[in-house]
Amino acid sequence: MPEWDEGVRHFMTYWFSGLVNGLESVDEPARKAILQECGKACAESYTIEVFQDARERSTDMEAFLAILAARFPEAIYEQLTSGTIRVRYTSCACDLVKCGLVQSSLICECSAYNLQENFERAWGIPVSVALETSILRGAPQCVFLVSLESPLR
């Protein structure tokens, strides 16, 4: 995380507070559109590269998930069926939360879109992600259910 002087940290805290207030005041479709774009941008900043590298180095989903688990030790990847993966985070993986800039559980939807973008770009198929639980919503861990629209054989 970047080292910020107190003035920048002060500004960023207020700015993100305004963003969260704005997200809370818009309707569901608008919130979804904003957080979906945020999730994609977050993925572009780093994780897409990791997911694509894992895909290039693996022959199947099991190997792919093992590579991801090695790269992201705070995450647990579990293949439930050929088209369903459960992803659990033992700690919040959002850099905005880690920096103390956001504490709203709305940001958890951004994380779901981030995971969706990562899987879609790595596998080249449509994916949906459902948020089951999150640390910001009071659960001991974050849990996402990833559904591949074209199950792998």
Evaluate whether residue 1 is within a structural domain.
Answer: no
At 62, which CATH number?
3.30.1380.20
Is residue 78 within 8 A of residue 72, CB to CB? The reply is: no
Query: Would you give the distance in Å from CA 126 to the centre of its chain?
Result: 16
**Spatial CB neighbours of 120, under 8 Å, sequence gap ≥ 6:** 126, 127
Residue-range definition of the domain harbouring residue 52: 6-148
Tally of domains within the chain: 1
In this model, does residue 2 exceed pLDDT 90? no
Residue 118 structure tokens? 């990562």
Is-above-0.85 flag for pTM? Answer: yes
> pLDDT of 56-98, one tens digit each?
999 999 999 999 999 999 999 999 999 999 999 999 999 999 9
Report how far residue 49's alpha carbon sits from residue 122's, in angstroms, rounded to the nearest whole number: 9
